[in-house]
Structure 1
Amino acid sequence: MLLSNSTVILISAFLSITYFFSAFEKIKDWNKTIKYYNEMFKGRLSRKLVLVSIYVIIVVELSSILLFLYGNFSFINSESRIVLQYAFIISSILLLVLLSGLRIAKDYQGAAQIGIYFLISIFGLYLMEL
């Protein structure tokens, strides 16, 4: 079971690590994070909306991590796919939100890089549905 589904497990581990460090860096350097995003969206979004967006993104990143970890556990132990499917769906939605934000900020290079993570997430979802 573990070897036959190692691709899905590794993809979910990759995304978990990615979201963990993303959330950790935002929280660790909170004041710098607020300053950075306020500057990024200056003239495009209000400061309050930027702050709420940061909170929502952190919560969704942390939720994704937990879903991926629990999903891997249940997938390995009981071959239950549903939690990992939800994790990949939430991950993909989060990446679409981040993509939208980067496009609003006119950070086209950052938006292009998000596309890579989105493809990885969608590929993981695809493998779960086979």
Structure 2
Amino acid sequence: MNNIASILLLVFLAITFLQSSQDKLFHWKDNLDWLKEHFKNTPLKNQVPLALVNVLILELISGILCTVGSIELALNSGRIYGLYGAIFSSITLIMLLFGQRLAKDYDGARTIVLYFIPSVMAVYWLN
């Protein structure tokens, strides 16, 4: 029971990133069309498909590591997979924040901060 807060954070991050990556995989064209419009006035306008692939890969890695990390932490108090999951989650969110700021979507950037706080808490607690 000493690790319950960390497990809850890892489950939160796992759900967040696995659901988001699942949405990108199964609704690729809708996401790509929306993002092309979203970034049309930014230096990323010609890089949207590549950026989406990068984000998808990072989200999958983050979600899988957080899932494995929460199981590892619950079973034997191991922290390594959870720590890496939290670190990858934080990096992914920083990339998303950068994109939102570049697109001047300040409300979207503010929303990402709400996910970044628990992500950094998980890094701190699992380190």
TM-score normalised to structure 2 length: 0.93
**Cα distance in 1 for residues equivalent to 2:115 and 2:41:** 28
Aligned residues: 126
Give the match for residue 84 of structure 1.
82
Q: Report the identity percentage.
A: 34
Question: What SS does structure 2 have at the residue aligned with 1:42?
Answer: coil
* Structure 1 segment 24-63 matched on structure 2, within 5 A: 24-44=22-42, 45-47=44-46, 49-63=47-61
In structure 1, distance between residues paired with 2:86 and 2:53 = 20
Deviates more, 1:115-124 or 1:73-82: 73-82
Conserved? CA contact 2:6–2:125, under 8 Å: yes
Name the SS of the counterpart of 1:80 in structure 2: coil
Which residues in structure 2 correspond to 1:10-21 (within 5 Å)?
10-21=8-19
In the aligned structure 1, how far is the partner of 2:71 from the partner of 2:22? 23
Could you say which residue in structure 1 is the equivalent of 2:114? 116
Secondary structure (helix, strand or coil) at the match of 2:99 reads helix
CA contact (8 A) 2:18 2:64 kept: no
Distance 1:86 1:24 in 2: 21
Conserved? CA contact 2:9–2:122, under 8 Å: yes
Q: Distance in 2 between matches of 1:34 and 1:26?
A: 9
Deviation at 1:41, TM superposition (A): 0.4
Superposed, which structure 2 residues align to 1:60-75 within 5 Å? 60-75=58-73
Deviation of 1:33 after TM superposition, in Å, equals 0.8
- SS at 2:2's partner residue? coil
Gaps of 5+ in 1: none
**C-alpha RMSD of the superposition:** 1.1
5+ residue gaps in structure 2? none
Mapped contact 2:55–2:92 kept (Cα < 8 A): yes
- 4-13 or 70-79: bigger deviation: 70-79
Contact 2:73-2:82 within 8 A present in 1 as well: yes
